[in-house]
Structure 1
């Protein structure tokens, strides 16, 4: 197996503003793994808060010796090797995982959702993200979101209620909110969740800093809305630790090293009777379409990362009438433009 890599800056359509940061570009590493003339595509999206960069991803990926494996179907063995080469580097590891899944699916001539036994018609609606911004820009973003059946609103600042009221002046579609750890006081957080329920919000993502475990557990117990972990969970090993602290989890390939571990997290979360959301970073259609292979088995999807950029080099998963629409193509289901 041969691995090739290429740095690629994702250009965002709007400034992406969260509770604690804002950016207009997300660095990404696009990779190819070739075996017997067949190429699998992968991606590492690296928003700054993940702690990865072109430098770290290049160093990690160039340290791999995939040539030692003569059979790409030994997926567990290969990915266990990749995971053990160095700690961290989860997005870089995810790029290898995605490319291997794409490669194997192409060899088998099957899309991964079918290999896993999932049905394309079982996919949920996907939300479209509305970042923190001025009233005028928020209204523009809501107009651009026409056709989506749920919107995800970034909150975590003093403008929270104004953001929701501005959106509600234009649409009555259900909302989810992502606080990105922005709330600090649990009593005020609880009061806000009751208000958000009245405003048609259906769940709250990562309301408080992940370190405030007792406060989050208290909020989850008393909240009228499900409380979903994002920054509070990363990999499979973290899942049992957050049981009882959150109502559910947001699985992202860039956090958990890719499709193989994401599938395991989905299975365990269901066994623990927890809600499951499949999410993404700002990504090309490569990583978003890879994540979408899990969509038929989740409660909620937030697979809009490719729609937030202006220079997507791939085509893949689509949002049709607000719903995740999987493509019956081998591998993860993407093509180069």
Structure 2
């Protein structure tokens, strides 16, 4: 196989803020794997919370470039196991795993959801994320993008008031994400008010390692609680089962489609609701997520919708939330 690595700086439509950080651009690493005349594409974005940059990911892959290029590629699962054995970060593995899956499907001439024998005639609509901002700016973002489901980023002392103000401007379903900013007491107190305001669930209200707090919340919250920062890798799913009603799986954090599919199966086995989320990827990463949506209860794959300029063609999300899957095999990605 031949590897190509390229850095993109993705400009966002608006400053994107959550409880712990803000940014106007998203650094992204695109990996291309070329084999037998076909090219598969994968992506992983940088993330300060996990101390991941383009440079760290690139260096990891360059250290094992020769071994990867000499690898006898047959199918993604064995390739993923090979990558894990090289002690790469999950972010670097994700980019390579997504590229390998895209390549595999293109070699077979079939989309991944078809290879996995899933029916894409029914799937959840993605939410559209409204970053934390002044109420006026958050309302303006909703008016700019009318959508049936919004994920509202929170993490202030006025979070219920923010949601109350936003509710005056839309009948859409709300989901709220505190990104670890609340205490157990705040979560339990906020939940009844948020439920009255049409909030479907609360995502990651407490710090990722506050398992005692989450045990308290899961027994007393009137709203479902979905794990994000507490659910990173496969082994986290079982632990989350005792503290959450659902898990949000991120491909970049867990290491790609290959482990994500196992995490989905485990979560379902445990009776958890299953969501897959994005980390402001371009259409390269979003097209990979889209292959999973027939298996999901919820999905957050609005990354490319938040960009001022995209870098790829693949899955298209229409104004009504309908997903148009590309005719190419794999994830169906091509770079512009």
Into which bin does the TM-score normalised by the smaller protein fall?
over 0.9
The equivalent of 2:224 in structure 1 is 226
- Segments of structure 1 that go 5 or more residues without pairing to the other structure are none
Please give the residue correspondences for 1:137-156 in structure 2 after superposition, counting only pairs within 5 Å.
137-146=137-146, 148-156=147-155
In structure 2, distance between residues paired with 1:177 and 1:140: 18
In structure 2, distance between residues paired with 1:7 and 1:297: 31
Post-superposition offset of 1:318: 2.4
Post-superposition offset of 1:51: 1.2
In structure 2, distance between residues paired with 1:105 and 1:144: 36
Q: Secondary structure at the match of 1:58?
A: helix
In structure 2, distance between residues paired with 1:183 and 1:323: 34
Distance 1:325 1:200, change over 3 A: farther
TM-score (norm 2): 0.96
Q: Secondary structure at the match of 1:49?
A: coil
In structure 1, distance between residues paired with 2:103 and 2:121: 24
Post-superposition offset of 1:325: 4.1
> Which residue among 218, 240, 243 is the counterpart of 1:242?
240
Please give the residue correspondences for 1:1-337 in structure 2 after superposition, counting only pairs within 5 Å.
1-64=1-64, 65-70=67-72, 72-86=73-87, 89-146=89-146, 148-184=147-183, 186-320=184-318, 321-337=320-336
Distance 1:123 1:20, change over 3 A: same
In structure 2, distance between residues paired with 1:74 and 1:98: 12
In structure 1, distance between residues paired with 2:104 and 2:76: 9
Aligned 8 A contact 2:44 2:94 in 1 = yes
Q: How many residues align?
A: 333
Post-superposition offset of 1:23: 1.0
Aligned 8 A contact 1:123 1:325 in 2 = no
Cα offsets for 1:227-251 (capped at 9, x unmatched): 0000001011111122111111001
Aligned 8 A contact 1:278 1:300 in 2 = yes
Cα offsets for 1:98-137 (capped at 9, x unmatched): 0000101001000001111111121111100001111221
Aligned 8 A contact 2:40 2:333 in 1 = no
Give the superposed CA RMSD: 1.3
Cα offsets for 1:67-126 (capped at 9, x unmatched): 2222x2243332112112125x21111000000001010010000011111111211111
In structure 2, distance between residues paired with 1:336 and 1:77: 26
* Consecutive aligned runs of 4 or more in structure 1 exceeding 4 Å deviation: none
Cα offsets for 1:13-58 (capped at 9, x unmatched): 1111111111111111111101122111111111221211122111
Aligned 8 A contact 1:182 1:208 in 2 = yes
Q: Secondary structure at the match of 1:120?
A: coil
In structure 2, distance between residues paired with 1:280 and 1:172: 24
Q: Secondary structure at the match of 1:331?
A: coil
- Segments of structure 2 that go 5 or more residues without pairing to the other structure are none
Q: Secondary structure at the match of 1:231?
A: coil
Post-superposition offset of 1:288: 0.9
Q: Secondary structure at the match of 1:290?
A: helix
TM-score (norm 1): 0.95
